[in-house]
Amino acid sequence: MKKLLQDLNSISEIAVSRSETTIIGGYTWTISFLEDLARTHRGDLAEMQVVSNLFGGSGWEPTATVEEVRKGTWKEVQRISVSAGGLGVDPLSSFRLKFLGQATGDILALPLGGTTCLGSTAAKQIIRTSTEDTSSYGGDDTVSLLTTFTITYKEFVTDLISAHIDSCDTVAYVIAEKLSMIPPLNRVKVSGKATEAGDNGCEWEITLLSVTGNPELLQGKKMGFNYNI
């Protein structure tokens, strides 16, 4: 039930539980629409529609119905602004927030002592393709033009990516597109260039704009050709 529903473009993260069977063989599934980065499930959602293909024994007409247990709500958003009130804000000044009797620690007005309100520098990671010279025993010294790979982040894996669509810069657009489909990485910036080794290798610099702090390393997996990543 969960897998089939999440395969729909209109549904993102959900939790599904099922009751024990009733005396006449029926079940009740409870579907909870969870929060995601795209805010797909915020607000009062439309009810699911059942297209029944149920049948039973003689004299029985099984039915399936949908009942709304709890309406979705728009989550409250509060904005916090820092106003200079003069010539500027001291980078070392700070403030705290209180909510329901609890208070945060000191929050720097300009995070990490920077000069803007954008916070810390976004994490950057490098993916590089290269090869070993095997020409002395029948191989070659260039990355295969048929090279493909996938990128893994946590439990998410991209579709296959060809390392040689056109140029390294062209492949950068494909990498950005594939990575942006991973929920935590919905905003990435990717640039590409050829390596200095002269072996058809590429180097892609990936800036993770939607992930704060120190994220896990992306993992590249080669798909059967002669190169390192």
Residue ending a domain, choose from 51, 71, 91: 71
pLDDT digits (tens, 9 = 90+) for 183-212: 888 889 999 999 888 888 899 999 888 876
For residue range 148-179, what is the model confidence (pLDDT) as tens digits?
999 999 889 999 999 888 889 999 999 999 99
Domain, as residue range, for 179: 123-222
Q: What percent of the chain has pLDDT over 70?
A: 83
| 3-state secondary structure string across the chain | CHHHHHCCCCCCCEEEEECCCCCCCCCCEEEEECCCCCCCCCCCCCCCCCCCCCCCCCCCCCCCCCCCCCCCCCCCCCCCCCCCCCCCCCCCCEECCEECCEECCCEECCHHHCCCCCCCCCEEEEEECECCCCHHHCCCCCCCCCCEEEEEECCEECCCEECCCCCHHHHHHHHHHHHHCCHHHCCEEEEEEECCCCCCCEEEEEEECCCCCCCCCCEEEECCCCCEC
Please tell me the total count of domains within the chain. 2
Are 65 and 133 members of one domain?
no
Whether pLDDT at 220 is above 60: yes
118 is a domain residue: no
Domain membership of residue 156 (yes or no) is: yes
- Considering the domain architecture, whether residues 132 and 49 belong to the same structural domain is answered as no
| pTM for the full predicted model | 0.48
